[in-house]
Amino acid sequence: MFLKITNLNKNFETKAGSLAVLKDINIDIEQGEFICAVGASGSGKSTLLRQIAGLDRPTSGDVKIDGKRVTGPGPDRGMVFQHYTLYPWMTVQENAEFGLKMQGVPKKERREQSSYYLSVVGLTDFSKALPSELSGGMKQRAAIARALVSEPKILLMDEPFGALDIHTKEAMHSFMLDLWKRTGITIFMITHDVEEAVFCQIASMPWAHVRVQFAR
Amino acid sequence: MKDGPTFRSIQSRMKPKPMQPTVFWRLAEDIPKPLYSGLTVASVAIPLVVWWAATTWGAIDPRFLPSPAQVIEAFGRLWGTRELLKDTVASLWRVGVGFLLAALCSIPVGVLMGSFSSIRALLEPLFGLMRYMPAPAFIPLLILYLGIGEEPKIMLIFIGVFFFNSLMVMDTVKFVPKDLIEATYILGGNRRTTLTQVILPHVLPGILDACRINLAAAWQLVIVSELIAATEGLGRRISVAGRFLKTDEIFVGLIVIGVIGLVFDLLFQYLMRVTCKWASQKR
Ligand SMILES: Nc1ncnc2c1ncn2[C@@H]1O[C@H](COP(=O)(O)OP(=O)(O)OP(=O)(O)O)[C@@H](O)[C@H]1O
Ligand SMILES: [Mg+2]
């Protein structure tokens, strides 16, 4: 099992008392799967993803990737956030290669690598643009390129297309499917949009489906 | 409500306030460029004209209010004897050294305070207290400790800038979006790279802005320090001129002080535009 979540619980201590957001979550994802999780707003989707990313500690239970327990964030996991998180002072290309830069990859190689993934997401022409000059969909594609550049084992996506219109969203869906088929990457995507989740399923992928149903 | 939400004709109780089209009173919108330039010129020109008219027709004692021509003449006189230049250089030197020292210390301290709650807890109470002690109130102590040379003047500027600047820099750091920091962790950044390569560039415009504001404070403090004990400097020039009722020289001093301050401000704005294109584009 590639991603294994066992008996995960997460409580938030608030003024009104302890808020149990995640209750006994068990998820298994195989390598190369494209899994969509659906849940209503406020059901704890982002919270779950943060535990997998290692940005937050579960109250109990654990998350294992490739047999290794997650204890903190790391470049083996790529993440695309619900909100735009590009660095506003960097160009699209600089954003894309920033992860490699921090890992000490030489300049020439990271240029090549980031250029390749910018072409994958169709942003070659905008590699010198600042994030403020991009549309919402382009920003998310740039964020996807940034997450892919370090070729993570798993891509975590938190409602990446939530703010997009239906046409752009559909374009992004087929883009994601295409990307997934070509790279063989494992994707765990979170959405509140059942149609978005079902889309993964009907696109001739019997193993990509609505696996987790959050209840609240 | 049993039947679910319905409209309850609140519209009939509303008194709509229509908005007339306007050029001058546009809220948070640009006005036409010529109007903007015109108003900018007027903001300086109107006081000048009023000043000129008052001294020409107002029959005011020139010892009380000299005319623009007299002030220009005094400027020429002071410039000719090179006294004005000497005073300006003396004041600029004090501000330069004092402000630079304060900025060099306060920027790292402010960034650390903003980034680490531990350091904030350690320093914020003290700095918050010091901020409310006006720097000029330290003058007697500074003279007692450091004499009447350059040191107390530079120290005064340092005290007046350091605490404010640290706290203002700290505030800009607190506004770095948490998402951005977390995205950096996900990309494999550790605390050090996050601090130097994400937090620092993100707060650079804020730091420049804080420095710009506090340079104005430093410029005021140097004048204050010179009013008390100095052999040269623009503040000294003004207080001497006052003693001899040379009102025209007071005006020269004031105008030079104002113009230099304005140049500082414009320099910082320029620096900001050059180094932080991304931040100025937002506006
Ligand atoms: N740091 C926190 N402290 C306290 N409560 C929190 C915290 N983070 C999240 N919560 C609570 O946890 C619940 C789930 O939040 P979460 O952000 O995971 O929702 P979500 O499913 O991602 O919703 P959305 O679709 O709107 O993004 C919410 O009720 C929220 O108030
Ligand atoms: Mg969410």
B24 lies in a domain?
no
B221 lies in a domain?
yes
Residues lining ligand 1, CB < 6 A?
Answer: A 12, 14, 19, 21, 39, 41-47, 82, 192
Instruction: Render pLDDT for A196-209 as a digit per residue (tens, 0 to 9).
Output: 766 654 333 333 33
B245 lies in a domain?
yes
- Run means of pLDDT, 10 residues per run, chain A, 216 residues: 86 86 84 81 85 92 90 89 90 94 93 92 92 89 92 90 80 83 85 70 38 42
Residue-number span of the structural domain to which B118 is assigned: 68-282
Q: How confident is the model at residue B234 (pLDDT cuts 50, 70, 90)?
A: very high
Instruction: Render pLDDT for B5-60 as a digit per residue (tens, 0 to 9).
Output: 888 788 888 888 888 888 888 887 888 899 999 999 999 999 999 999 999 888 88
Whose Cα sits closest to atom 5 in ligand 1?
A: A12
Spacing, Cα B34 to ligand 2 middle (Å): 47
Structural domains of chain A, ranges and CATH numbers in brackets? 1-76+152-216 (3.40.50.300), 86-147 (no CATH)
B16 lies in a domain?
no
Is the CB of residue A168 less than 8 Å from the CB of residue A122? no
B110 lies in a domain?
yes
User: Is-above-0.90 flag for pTM?
Assistant: no
Selected for mutation to probe chain B from A84, A89, A188 (highest B CB count within 10 Å) is A89
B163 lies in a domain?
yes
Is the CB of residue B198 less than 8 Å from the CB of residue B178? no
What would the mean pLDDT of B175-188 be, rounded to a whole number? 92
Facing B186 at nearest CB: one of A79, A88, A130: A79
Number of domains comprising chain B: 1
Measured CA to CA, the distance from residue A199 to residue B150 in angstroms comes to: 74
Assign residue B165 the CATH number of its domain: 1.10.3720.10
The full DSSP string for A125-177 is GGTTS-GGGS-HHHHHHHHHHHHHHT--SEEEEESTTTTS-HHHHHHHHHHHH
Measured CA to CA, the distance from residue B162 to residue B172 in angstroms comes to: 16
Whose Cα sits closest to atom 22 in ligand 1?
A: A46
Q: Quote the Cα angle for A47-A53-A55, to 5°.
A: 70
ipTM: 0.86
B222 lies in a domain?
yes
